[in-house]
Structure 1
């Protein structure tokens, strides 16, 4: 009977595993192979160059600029986005207090606020990037016009043209575009936490700060950890590429101040015709992503709380 059961299970797994191997594992293997060649991406002709592409990475200053910018996004974007998402979700669900003493509820108009926060999710990434690009325009943008309106006409930064602040401007757009999703996600998690927990804590004299760190955050930890990994991958992947490609000067500038790894892969492949070298950069990006995910899973490991 056991052998028959195993054959029955294996019969159902063969097709899904075959599809997974063809469409997921196979591209990774091909990418590693191409990274060891001098393939231009425009011709089927190529020859093996071994680890020359990887050795070249250590001498490539633009690559290291892209690594630094990507790591900056990787470290800060999840922190800022998830922190704002948790704060807004907490205020919308348990940050207010109703008329009856010690009864927990969200702030007034929380339903409307959720719609307002989620609105950027309705817009596509190119639309959000273009909106912020217009706002950052040094001559006709909304930000400099606001400074001029309040009498700070001497403060007219070239937001996307200044190497010192260009990356932060792009990051601000990415935060605005993503924080609404986490407000809704964390709100859904908080709504499942029994209100009795909060009421008991308030009766014992706990304030909002204590209830957040003693009740809300521990019970939402699995959701926060998943969101952290997702935001980290987003900071290293397509979203960072799209925002930098559309918003930055160059793109990737000025002076490579907004260059990120996905954009550098694109430039080396389609602009410079160095697909083999670009694939080596992509493999490096894969390694950074895997290391980040492993570190977050390791540091965030804790005993699961149930209620």
Structure 2
């Protein structure tokens, strides 16, 4: 009977595993193979060049700068998004005043959940179009218009948010954080609602403040959710292709003067515009390796004993 069960399960797994190998694993293998050649993309004739493409990558100042920009995104996007999402989730679930019914969220918490989650229903492409209007470099831009009205910016010299090297990365980070906070707020709220209210009430009776309740109760019990959010946000920070290619200047974005380049934009430009497909495949392999290493490091660094309640 057990042998028959194994055959039954193997029969159901055969087709999905085969499809996964063909459409997921095989393209990765092909990409690595092409990265060892001088493939031009359109031509089917190419030569084996070994590790020359990888050696050229580390001499490519634009690609190395793009890696640095991805690292900056990797540092700031997860930290800011998770901190804001945790704060808002805590306030919506346990930040209200003590009442006879026990611990509760702030007044209107259900409405706030909808407001915070709203950006998540919009695609990144739509957000890119909206924030291009927000960051417009004239008085018609929402941000510049508000600053002009407040007298903080001269109407004749508005801020070039997406064309200033010092501002462009921060402008992109704001968009990603604004888009992601609502989703992780809902994720953390769902995890907080599984925490018994009696724990919070006992802490309040013992004289614990809201801050102590958050750091001593909420955060330790939400650590698994925080760990998951950190990995997903880290992977998103290693991509950033849609926003950079849509919001910034240049072919596939990256402007001004490559100050907003990320690995994905450099790769696509080399693949589609410069005809360096083998070189671009090497970039793709480096992106894959960095993302895998990032995921493992984050999971290891944030691993801790699970707390039961």
What's 1:213 paired with? Answer: 215
Q: 2:290 aligns with which of 283, 288, 291?
A: 288
Matches within 5 A, 1:66-215: 66-100=66-100, 103-139=102-138, 140-154=140-154, 156-215=158-217
The answer to whether the 8 A contact 2:39-2:276 is kept is yes
Q: CA deviation at 1:158?
A: 1.1
Q: Report whether the alignment pairs 1:225 with 2:233.
A: no
- Superposed CA deviations along residues 1-57 of structure 1, whole A, max 9, x for unmatched, are 665554444444333322221122111111100111111112222221111100100
TM-score normalised by length of structure 2: 0.94
Q: CA deviation at 1:306?
A: 2.1
| Distance in 1, Cα, partners of 2:298 & 2:91 | 26
| Distance in 2, Cα, partners of 1:132 & 1:2 | 59
Q: Report whether the alignment pairs 1:305 with 2:304.
A: no
Distance change in 2, residues 1:122/1:7 (3 Å):
closer
Q: Quick check: 218-227 or 148-157, which moved more?
A: 148-157
What's 1:16 paired with? Answer: 16
Question: Over aligned residue pairs, what C-alpha RMSD do you find?
Answer: 1.5
Q: CA deviation at 1:98?
A: 4.0
TM-score normalised by length of structure 1: 0.95
Task: Describe the SS at the equivalent of 2:48.
Answer: coil
Task: Describe the SS at the equivalent of 2:41.
Answer: coil
Distance change in 2, residues 1:9/1:153 (3 Å):
closer
What's 2:46 paired with? Answer: 46
Question: Structure 1 regions of 5+ residues with no counterpart?
Answer: none
Q: Report whether the alignment pairs 1:252 with 2:263.
A: no
The answer to whether the 8 A contact 2:137-2:158 is kept is yes
Task: Describe the SS at the equivalent of 2:86.
Answer: helix
What's 1:268 paired with? Answer: 270
| Distance in 1, Cα, partners of 2:122 & 2:302 | 32
What's 1:34 paired with? Answer: 34
| Distance in 2, Cα, partners of 1:29 & 1:294 | 21
The answer to whether the 8 A contact 2:153-2:159 is kept is no
